Chains A and B, each alone.
Chain A
């Protein structure tokens, strides 16, 4: 039996512009964003991203609403300052990155879609950069958006006036942006590494969450047993420690801090780890052809 009906409307060649590699890169980025957010996918794919973004922003909206009703936003009376807020969203970002990074990389390999990419004007680095950038946009937005809501809300209800508040506290904007970026790099590099070598999204996400969360208690025990250098292995704690350094705050005692490691060293660990994982993942994709 025939599979389909051919509607012969003729063939019209494409006479318009061709955007080449730059167009392909932008298409890749758009597809990555859609995939991370579950857009143009089945309904169940949308649930988690929407839920997570909602959970991240609700506390900020609550505090702003509280300030509006009370007529003044008392920062000391709220449960969450900017630094504390990262401790809440950071954990959610970890889960989000676990799921999103495997969703970005694994289906393309498992379903053979890589062969489509390899026939288009894209390099391996273009592909991986596009995927990472899509994740960066979403995770960065997820981490940073609540701070912007909080910042604008505080400025709005400030007794000193909106303008004065913004002028006096503007560094918070870029500090929280920088901290959000550090969280992304610190968490996503390991997630991409694991996703690049896995063939099942659930296994990759589970392995990643296991590695990241277990790195804390294991290295803590080793640090307490007299091996402070092993505090460098507390993968989940480096971004938080660097965030406190950037925001000049201290929400808790991070394991690298407990091991006597300087925040700059934690930042170096994040940078070196991301470069190393980037090279390994690129090598893996180049070999796979």
Chain B
């Protein structure tokens, strides 16, 4: 892993009474946009609260940006932003006042806080609404204001808990665009979501949680398997499969595609030769791409 990890978690455990919410989590996570995925109740929010030092772990160690938690919780909080899933906006304050206040709470001097509040509200698309009381905000505007309060003090890391919750498709895409842009701002992000496609489209590293345990932690690019070809055929798919098998390839026949691997050989050459031999044609040929859902489902089944 290149560079200093932004998160180092080792043997982390936390329980709400008898319910084990985080069960021996160990992960080392690099800088960038990190997806934290898992079903509802997988322990995502609990893990984020442990990273913030809001909850105290029963066992294990955590380092955030190199600072141990809970020993240096306040140092970490000076450099971290948090966008909770639930509401956090006072309805009787204007967006400009509250975001400015959030910046001051993050340690910025008053004048800088005011200026940054104005800048950040513009950046998240709330410039026109900055002097409106937030009780009149729509869900989309509230999500933007929540993101603004999380990044207004220019943190090194921001923890986003379900940032697209409650948004319509257009609002969701705009929020994901903002999340993608955090990289340009020099802000690392941990994005918690149960929507796997959101994570796929925004993150470059993924930590999968299931039942409080880590199913997988690694770069998203590792999900592609370059030694497996996936092909869609115009013609007789079964004939192509037979030809490929006769050339020594391992073949899986799906509902509309074949996957083909060739131990010690090039699966793409085999695919070409098999298609020619069967008198068929390609509709599509590419590297088999494993989706987060595939990995998650496979991991869950193994675990079960």
Name A's B-contacting residues (CB within 8 A).
1-9, 11-14, 16-21, 23-24, 26-28, 30-31, 40-42, 45, 107-108, 111-113, 115-123, 289
Contact = CB atoms under 8 A, between A and B. Distances in A.
Contacts of A116: 82, 84, 88, 102, 105, 149
A113 B80 CA distance: 17
Interface in B81-124: 81-82, 84, 86-94, 97, 101-102, 104-110, 112-113, 116, 119, 122-124
A113 B88 contact: yes
B282 interface: no
B288 interface: no
B154 A13 contact: yes
A270 to B, nearest CB: 32
Identify the 8 closest CB pairs spanning chains A and B, nearest first. Answer: A4-B125, A119-B82, A27-B104, A3-B140, A14-B154, A120-B105, A121-B74, A11-B185
Nearest to B174: A2
Nearest to B111: A16
Contact of A111 (B90, B106, B119, B123): B90
Contacts of A21: 74, 78, 107
A23 B108 contact: yes
Contact of A41 (B81, B93, B113, B178): B93
B107 A20 contact: yes
Contacts of B125: 2-7
Interface residues of B, number: 61
Interface of B: 49, 52, 54-55, 74-75, 77-78, 80-82, 84, 86-94, 97, 101-102, 104-110, 112-113, 116, 119, 122-129, 133, 138, 140-141, 144, 149-150, 153-154, 159, 170-171, 174, 178, 181, 184-186
A7 B122 contact: yes
A18 B80 CA distance: 13
Contacts of A9: 119, 122-123
Which of A14, A31, A111, A289 has the most chain B CB atoms closer than 10 A to its own CB?
A14
A91 B199 CA distance: 58
B187 to A, nearest CB: 9
Given A4-B141, A16-B108, 15 more contacts: A3-B144, A4-B144, A6-B123, A9-B122, A14-B108, A21-B74, A24-B107, A27-B110, A42-B92, A108-B90, A112-B87, A113-B89, A115-B82, A116-B105, A123-B74
A3 B129 CA distance: 10
B186 A289 contact: no
B89 A111 contact: yes
A13 B186 contact: yes
Contacts of A111: 87-91
A120 B149 CA distance: 11
Which of A2, A6, A21, A122 has the most chain B CB atoms closer than 10 A to its own CB?
A6
A118 B50 CA distance: 11
A263 B125 CA distance: 61
A41 B94 CA distance: 8
B74 A20 contact: yes
A134 to B, nearest CB: 13
B140 to A, nearest CB: 4
Contacts of A3: 125, 138, 140-141, 144, 171, 174
